[in-house]
Structure 1
Amino acid sequence: MGIKVLVVDDSAFMRKIITEMISDIAGLTVVGTARNGHDALKSIPLLKPDIVTLDIEMPGLNGLETLERIKKEFDIPVVMMSSHSGEAITIEALELGAMDFIEKPVDLKNQAVDFKKEIEKKIKPLIEEKEEPTPKKQLEKRTTTKEWQKNVPKKIEAIVIGASTGGPKALLHIIRHLPETLVIPVFIVQHMPKGFTLSFAERLNLKSVVTVVEAQDGMAVEKGIVYLAPGDYHMTIKENKIALNQTPKILGVRPAVDYLFQSAAIRYKSTLVGVILTGMGHDGSEGMKHIKEQGGFTLAQDRETSVVYGMPGSAIKEGVVDEVASLTELSDKINWMIRMRQ
Structure 2
Amino acid sequence: MNLLERRYRNVLRLLPASYRAGREEEMVAAYMEYAGDVPDELSPRPRFGEIASVAGLALRVRLAGATGAPRYFAWGETVRMTALFGLAFHAMLGVTGVIAALMLEPPVDGVPTMAERLADLGNTLAGVLWLVSFAALARGAAPPAKIAGGAAALWSLAERGTQIATWGTALEWDGPFLLLILVPALALLAGFHRDAPPPRRSWWVALGAPVLAGSVPILVNLGIWRSGDPARFQEFMVWTDVPGLLMIAVLAAGLVCLVRRAGAPPLLALAWYALLALLCRLPNLTHVHGEVVEPWLAGQIQCAILAVSGLTLAVTGWRRLPVLDRLRERSG
TM-score by structure 1 length? 0.25
In our comparison, the structure showing a higher alpha carbon Rg is 2
Q: Structure 1 or 2: larger helix share?
A: 2
Give the TM-score normalised by structure 2. Answer: 0.25
